[in-house]
Amino acid sequence: MGVSNRSTQVALGISVFSFLLFIIAFATPYWLVTDGRLQNPRFTNLGLWEVCFNNFQDIHRFYDTRFTGCMWVFEEEYYIIHDFLLPGFYIAVQFFATLCFIMCLIALPLTVGILRTSRDDDRYVVLLLTIGSCEVLASIFGFIAVVIFGAKGDSRDWMPGWQNNDMGWSFALAVVGGVMLLPAGILYMVEARRERYKRLNEISNRDVSEYGDDYYQSQAAAAAVAASQPSTSASAKQPEMPYFAPEPSRPRRPQPGRHHQQQQQQQATAPPQGSIQTDI
């Protein structure tokens, strides 16, 4: 099982809980609801994909059609009020909420896959990074969706009875689920970084130990080969010459001045030719 340490288990629990909250919010039509103070409210509740009216008639257009009940917002019967029912901010909320939902769907099978992957598998770090990235992106998209809807959903120029309209529990689930996806994704990415550095340290330590073993083994093998060779006689051995052998001495050349003086002294002390030297 790949999820064995505490941080990954916490990230898994938070991500699953966030998935459930946001999927419920994505599918339920209670993002905006009436507070129940009105006797016959023309608007009752609304979600991302469904809206419920009660004898609603658009007074800004000359249509006698009255809408009652809950229907899909892209229903053909709502075609004549699409410009009122689908303003730009509502389309933006649907778009970013759909992106968040898609990121959750991508991360869901990857989360199941990491439960079946060993920590020693090479795909383990890739799965952690992918899940973390998907959840961080999902959190960003979901946060943008709830911020836009919170700022514009209860405005006075959209649904009738705006002073009696409040944010519903689906919107609250979307806020909690979208925000909680961020710490779950960060925990996954931190765990992936930690696992990667751990593997790099193990690889470097393994290389160093293998190099040391090979070196000592080669030294031991060389010593064994040298010990197994037969020893030769001392007479057969050649004398080893030192690396820095002294150079042979050479006679010094006498200086010109001293040699000339010596010759003059010898000529002065030598007897003249033809003379007889007598020692008394």
**Mean pLDDT in the chain?**
77
Kindly report, residue by residue over 58-77, the tens digit of the pLDDT: 766 666 778 888 888 888 88
Cα–Cα distance, 192 to 200 (Å, whole number): 12
For residue 96, the enclosing domain spans 6-194
Please check whether residue 236 lies inside any domain of the structure. Answer: no
Please check whether residue 234 lies inside any domain of the structure. Answer: no
In terms of pLDDT, which residue wins out, 18 or 261?
18
Please check whether residue 136 lies inside any domain of the structure. Answer: yes
pTM: 0.67
* Bridge partners of residue 56, in order along the sequence: 67
pLDDT on residue 177: 92
CATH number at residue 116: 1.20.140.150
Please check whether residue 254 lies inside any domain of the structure. Answer: no
Which is nearest to 182 in space by CA: 130, 135, 127, 141? 135
Kindly report, residue by residue over 260-272, the tens digit of the pLDDT: 556 666 655 555 5
Q: What is the mean pLDDT of residues 6-34?
A: 89
Please check whether residue 207 lies inside any domain of the structure. Answer: no
Helices 88-115 and 169-228 pack at an angle, to 10 degrees, of: 40
User: Is pLDDT above 70 for 176?
Assistant: yes
Please check whether residue 114 lies inside any domain of the structure. Answer: yes
Work out how many domains the chain is built from and give that number: 1
Which is nearest to 93 in space by CA: 23, 151, 146, 161? 146
